[in-house]
């Protein structure tokens, strides 16, 4: 099932408007490919495309949990995860 989803996603990726307009990679370029490789189970390949995908997924999952269960400490954790995610994306952009 995941293989079919990954194949479908590979054929339906959204082009990067930032790269089309400015001719350079944006800070999140490679995240779609990283997600597809993660779905396929290729963690190493996924991390080589965009290692900041893991903090992004962690943030999204915790946000979904917080929205569902209204955790008392959720807002603080979301702020921390968001900061970690932004720093990871910035570092990924700088080092690539």
Residues 54-70: pLDDT tens digits? Answer: 999 999 999 999 999 99
What proportion of the chain, given as a percentage, has pLDDT over 70? 99
pLDDT band at 37 (very low <50, low <70, confident <90, very high): very high
Looking at the structure of the chain, the number of domains it has is 2
Q: Is the pLDDT of residue 17 over 90?
A: yes
Q: Are residues 80 and 57 in the same domain?
A: yes
One domain for residues 66 and 38:
no
Q: Are residues 69 and 83 in the same domain?
A: yes
Same domain, 63 and 91: yes
Residues 36 and 75 in one domain: no
* Calpha distance 33→43 (Å, rounded): 12
Instruction: Judge if 46 and 64 occupy the same domain.
Output: no
The domain in which residue 89 lies consists of 52-96
The whole-number pLDDT of residue 96 equals 84
Those residues whose C-beta lies under 8 Å from the C-beta of residue 40, and which sit 6 or more positions away, are 2, 3, 6
Q: Do 67 and 56 sit in the same domain of this protein?
A: yes
């Amino acid at each position: 099932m995941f293989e079919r989803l990954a194949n479908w996603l590979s054929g339906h990726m959204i082009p990067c408007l930032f790269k089309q307009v400015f001719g350079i990679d944006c800070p999140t370029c490679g995240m779609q490919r990283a997600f597809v490789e993660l779905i396929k189970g290729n963690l190493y390949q996924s991390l080589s495309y965009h290692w900041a995908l893991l903090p992004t997924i962690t943030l999204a999952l915790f946000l979904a949990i917080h929205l569902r269960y209204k955790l008392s400490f959720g807002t603080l954790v979301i702020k921390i995860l968001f900061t970690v995610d932004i720093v990871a994306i910035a570092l990924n952009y700088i080092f690539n």
